[in-house]
Structure formats: structure tokens, C-alpha cells
């Protein structure tokens, strides 16, 4: 199994604008100790700065977890965009077409993609704008289409959302689309599991779901968000991590990143995390997978 020395969790944001208080990065070291936050600039991280950090400043042998969907549903309909002639066939082709469509849009934004007449029909957008292709998988009803890994998450007691849904506080579609632009911008510098095979050594990016890490740290379903240092350190103790310094309130984005960095360190050697039963080669190259979903 590949050896990692560092475990980096990135709580992501797809919000409009340049800088985001909703982006947080935390790093845990293999030898143990408390995870630590990587201090952002005064007004928060930009997505471009995260891209530059991953490309130029990532510590060696780091397992990077990004809290976003690394692809859209494919297996349910046999395509990302059914009956669209130029629908891409792999996740990497999807990233490329998103990035090309959004060329010139700053801050790794993806509004140009979801507003494009070829792709808008597949998304649920604000203002009651639900595309007539949003429900292409009728088995999902109003939820929209889900990936195979999201069905696995649901079977574990979690509540995944469709990456085609861009509405609501719990939606992850905007984060996912902006994150795909960042992944494309890395230009194959870091393998993205399982879209790329695991290398023999080096760093790897994977998709994470912070609610899964919180659940395995003992948080009850529906109460995964932590905003207090006492609760944070209780979750870290459950993950065999040392407590972080502080008291009182902490923002939930920082808490998510800290817990998930510790979780990545704790579970990364478990073989089943890398070989979930429903992950096929076809799903790997199209939909990808959420690390830890079984």
C-alpha cells in the first residue's frame, strides 16, 4: 500500500467571489499529534490559491481529501448528459469541458457552465429554474441523479445530494463544479483517486465527505457540524488524535477540516477503503468515488 506522511483535508466552497471563509485546510502528520489548521490570508482563501498550494507547496507524500464531488452521475443513464452529442465520456473529459466553457470566468467559478444552453437543462438552479433533464433518472424523484458512491453513502446512513442540484444550504453542486476546474488546472500533477490508479509513491488527491468523517468520530446523523472546541476535541479523541488548543466557539469549516484530516490519518491503511465493493473500472474513470464510502 502507498505510504503517506501527511494528511490534508480541504473544506471547500463553491460560493461566488474571490475569497471564502468557507474554505479551510487542516494538516495531520503520520507520526501523530493534533491536526493543525493552515492559516488563510486575512480575508480567507481563494480557490486559485488552493490550486497554487496543491501545485507548488504541497508537502511530499500527502493524501489530500477535498470535500466536493469529483464528477457527475454517469452510471444511471450511461452518460453525464444523456442525449447530448458532445457529452464527455470520462471524468477528466468532463473537467476539461467545464474549464473550457468557463474560460475567462474568474476565481475558478462555474456559472458559465451551468448557464450554458447545452448544460443548463440538467441542473436545478436558483429562482425555481429546474431544467427539464434534472430528473433524467426517474428512480430518484425530486432529488436528482446520484452517483454510485452516493448510494453507498446513503446506505451508511448519510444524506448525499445530487451534484446537479445547485439550490439549498446542503447542496454540493457548486462546490463540485468549481473543484473540477481546480482538478483540471493541476494538469495531471497529482493523481486523483480512483480516476487515476494509485501510484507506488507520492501524493494523491481523493474526494471526501466531511459528514462521513464526523460520523466515524461518533457524531450522530444530522449533528455532524461542530462549532465548539470541546465537541471538536471529543471527536478528535475518538479518532486517536491529540486535542487542539482553544476554547469556546470555532467555525464549522475549520472543525470539519481538522476532524477529516485526523480521520484520513486513522483510516488510510484500511484496505477496504481503497477497494469498495461497487467500485468498478468503469465507475472509477467516469464517476469516481468518495474515499471511505463502503
Q: From the first residue on, what is the mean pLDDT of each consecutive set of 10 residues in the chain (294 residues)?
A: 95 94 97 96 95 97 98 97 97 98 96 97 92 88 92 95 91 95 95 97 97 92 83 96 94 96 98 97 98 96
- 62 near 5, Cβ under 8 Å? yes
**Would you mind telling me the total number of residues written for the chain in this entry?**
294
Q: Is the pTM of this model over 0.75?
A: yes
The CA distance from 34 to 225, in Å, is 19
Q: How many CB atoms lie within 10 A of CB 184?
A: 22
pLDDT number for residue 210: 95
Name which of 39, 42, 41, 44 is nearest 17 in CA terms: 44
C-alpha cell at 91: 471524468
Percent of the chain as helix, strand, coil, to the nearest 5: 35, 10, 55
Long-range CB contacts for residues 48-54, cutoff 8 Å, separation at least 24 = 48/107, 48/108, 50/10, 50/23, 50/25, 50/182, 51/108, 51/182, 51/185, 51/186, 53/25, 54/182, 54/186, 54/189, 54/190, 54/205
pLDDT number for residue 290: 98
pLDDT number for residue 224: 67
Query: Domain span at residue 162?
Result: 1-294
> How many domains would you assign to the chain?
1
Give the three-state DSSP class for 280. Answer: coil
Phi, psi angle pair for 33, to nearest 5°: 90, 180
Amino acid at each position: 500500500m502507498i505510504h503517506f506522511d501527511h494528511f490534508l483535508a480541504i473544506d471547500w466552497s463553491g460560493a461566488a467571489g474571490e475569497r471564502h471563509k468557507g474554505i479551510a485546510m487542516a494538516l495531520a502528520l503520520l507520526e501523530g499529534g493534533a491536526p493543525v489548521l493552515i492559516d488563510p490570508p486575512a480575508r480567507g482563501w481563494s480557490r486559485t490559491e488552493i490550486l497554487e498550494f496543491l501545485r507548488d507547496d504541497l508537502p511530499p507524500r500527502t493524501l489530500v481529501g477535498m470535500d466536493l464531488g469529483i464528477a457527475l452521475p454517469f452510471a444511471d443513464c450511461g452518460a453525464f448528459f444523456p442525449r447530448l452529442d458532445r457529452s464527455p465520456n470520462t471524468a477528466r473529459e468532463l473537467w476539461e469541458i467545464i474549464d473550457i466553457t468557463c474560460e475567462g470566468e474568474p476565481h475558478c467559478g462555474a456559472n458559465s457552465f451551468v448557464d450554458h444552453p447545452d448544460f443548463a437543462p440538467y441542473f436545478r438552479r436558483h429562482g425555481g429554474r429546474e431544467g427539464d433533464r434534472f430528473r433524467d433518472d426517474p428512480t430518484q424523484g425530486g432529488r436528482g441523479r446520484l452517483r454510485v458512491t452516493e448510494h453507498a453513502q446513503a446506505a451508511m446512513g448519510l444524506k448525499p445530494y445530487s451534484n446537479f442540484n445547485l439550490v439549498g444550504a446542503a447542496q454540493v453542486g457548486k462546490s463540485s463544479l468549481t473543484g473540477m476546474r481546480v482538478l483540471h488546472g493541476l494538469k495531471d500533477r497529482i493523481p486523483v483517486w480512483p480516476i487515476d490508479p494509485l501510484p507506488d509513491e507520492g501524493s494523491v488527491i481523493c474526494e471526501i465527505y466531511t459528514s462521513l468523517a464526523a460520523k466515524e468520530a461518533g457524531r450522530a446523523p444530522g449533528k455532524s457540524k461542530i462549532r465548539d472546541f470541546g465537541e471538536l476535541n471529543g471527536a478528535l479523541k475518538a479518532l486517536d488524535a491529540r486535542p487542539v488548543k482553544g476554547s469556546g466557539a470555532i467555525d464549522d469549516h475549520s472543525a470539519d477540516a481538522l476532524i477529516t484530516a485526523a480521520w484520513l490519518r486513522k483510516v488510510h491503511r484500511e484496505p477496504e477503503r481503497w477497494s469498495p465493493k461497487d467500485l468498478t473500472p468503469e465507475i472509477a474513470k467516469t464517476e469516481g468515488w468518495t474515499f471511505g464510502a463502503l
